[in-house]
Chains A and B, each alone.
Chain A
Amino acid sequence: MNGQEPRLRRRDWRKTGTAILEDPTFGRGVLVAGVVGGVFLALGLARGLGYIDPRLWNLLELPISEGAVNTLRFSVTIIPIGAVIGFFMGWARVTRHPILAWPASVYVDIVRGTPALVMILFAFFWLPFVLKSRDPSAGLTYAVLALAVHTSAYQAEIFRAGFQSVPSGQVDAAEAIGLNRWQAMRHVVLPQTFRVTLPALGNEFAVIIKDTSLLAAIGALELVYWGRESAQYALSIGSIGWVISVWLVIALFYFVITYVITNMVGAVEHAFRVPGLGSVAF
């Protein structure tokens, strides 16, 4: 071999870094970042040269400074919470213990069968009352958690499929060399589940990022909320063209957030890629 020692215990993070750079999606990422950056640069330039009415510019300030920041904040809160709940629910569904598997499948069925918007409204209006919460921001917190619960049901199914994709013969083989059940899970099943689930997880993340727009219904100050406010104001002082501009900028921010997060998942996927696992080798 070319003098490379196979990695054993720890991953060589330098090698992982190179793998990210060699990722074909990385070049595309640079391209997209360039285009998006170019759009912002052009906007700034147009503003500087006086082509854009300063009132329109001011209209976009809050959607960006507050809306985009809050959307990102909701997303990065919801995604990990949903992933943790989803992981354990998916795990519970593949265990042969009915005490674990049965409630988990009921959870998935109920949550998947309920509209996210209904869950948000329910959590916002009713939960603070039931839990006798005095904190005025509790409703928003519960609504965000409701979205995390919502995505967790879908992620549970993704993880379940991931667990089931590992042939049981490999667990037999792990036990046959003396690993106990937990070690077989930790060293044989989980590393494969992780690799197999990543593409579907990235997809679900992309969905839930845009689902945070539902929080506008309860007045959360995220992108769509500010888009609506600004669009209304734009119509009163400007033209329909302004309204379109506002929504274009809103859409652009959703795109950027989704693109960055899904590509982070893609980079991890690429770095841990193993021949014959997860994706078809090209």
Chain B
Amino acid sequence: MIRVEGIHKWFGTLHVLKGISFEVKKGDVLVVIGPSGSGKSTLLRCINLLVLPDEGRVLIDGVQVNSPKIRPEWVRQQVGMVFQQFNLFAHLTALENVTLGLRKVRKVREEEAKRKGKERLARVGLVHKIDAYPAELSGGQQQRVAIARALAMDPKAVLFDEPTSALDPEFIKEVLDVMTRLAREGMTMVVVSHEMGFARNVANRVLFMDNGLVLEEGTPEEVIAAPRHERTRAFMNKILE
């Protein structure tokens, strides 16, 4: 479903991604781990073209999308994204956040957008908060609204960029539960996260990145429990302490 072939990205003289390739099949959950600054977020942003790769190809359902022939807005409707800082629109209620894309991009009628928005908010357990503004929600609730917002566009896959890193510990579980349920329902997901429990229980595959390169890739058992590479082992020791 998502295929990345030999992606390179430079920010000025900084070589952030040095030839990354991987594939995510329909219904797969890929967890990307690695030290900060290793290029994980940039890689994720290359998939929905928030960052344009300088070299290499990004394919969605076999179509190369980092091409002048394809509108990035179209690509982003196929692949949803959830951010570390939630990034909810502060002037809109939860329901308006979820329906904005439907109303302005898909031009869906108001009642239909509302109905769908409510249904998505119900899926993340927030149907009682539809009229709340982001400032009135906890971090965990905001992130669940953000997930509902991504789901409203019926994406083929969802990218998660450290979705629990900015959360107080008490709110991490509710977000991971929603993500787990989403994965069980068959959603294709690429998750940048250091939640090892989630990686072990939910991911099909884990990818370890360091310094712009994929050092290791495999099942969670392989990469987390028995890493082959020295750097992976050092990283695992640090975060599993």
Contact = CB atoms under 8 A, between A and B. Distances in A.
Q: Report if A and B associate in a common complex.
A: yes
B91 A9 contact: no
Contact of B96 (A6, A167, A173, A179): A6
Which of B76, B95, B104, B110 counts the most A-chain CB atoms under 10 A from its CB?
A: B104
B80 interface: yes
B44 to A, nearest CB: 11
B32 interface: no
Interface in B12-39: none
A180 B73 contact: yes
B91 A172 contact: no
B105 A173 contact: no
B139 to A, nearest CB: 13
Interface in B87-109: 87-91, 93, 95-96, 99-101, 103-106
Contact of B103 (A8, A169, A188, A276): A8
A277 B134 CA distance: 10
A178 B101 contact: yes
Contacts of B91: 191-192, 195, 274, 277
B216 to A, nearest CB: 28
A170 B136 contact: no
B10 interface: no
Nearest to A181: B73
A47 interface: no
Interface string A220-243: 000000000000000000000000
Contacts of B81: 173, 176
B110 A170 contact: no
B113 A276 contact: no
A30 interface: no
A66 interface: no
B103 A9 contact: yes
A59 to B, nearest CB: 51
Q: In terms of DSSP, what is the predominant structure of the interface of chain B?
A: helix
A189 to B, nearest CB: 10
Interface residues of B, number: 40
Interface residues of A, number: 28
Interface stretch (B55-63, B145-153, B196-204): B145-153
Contacts, number: 100
A197 to B, nearest CB: 13
A133 interface: no
B85 A178 contact: no
A170 B87 contact: yes
B131 A1 contact: yes
Interface string B64-87: 000000001110110011010101
A18 B95 CA distance: 23
Which of A1, A178, A179, A276 counts the most B-chain CB atoms under 10 A from its CB?
A: A178
A177 interface: yes
A4 interface: yes
B50 to A, nearest CB: 6
A175 interface: yes
A174 interface: yes
Contacts of B153: 177-178
Given A1-B131, A175-B50, A6 B85 contact: no
Contact of B87 (A4, A167, A192, A275): A167
B135 A176 contact: no
A248 B197 CA distance: 75
B130 interface: yes
A175 B100 CA distance: 11
Given A177-B76, A276-B136, 9 more contacts: A4-B131, A6-B93, A170-B88, A170-B89, A173-B83, A176-B50, A178-B73, A179-B101, A179-B104
10 contacts: A8-B114, A173-B146, A176-B80, A176-B150, A177-B77, A177-B152, A179-B105, A183-B104, A276-B136, A277-B91
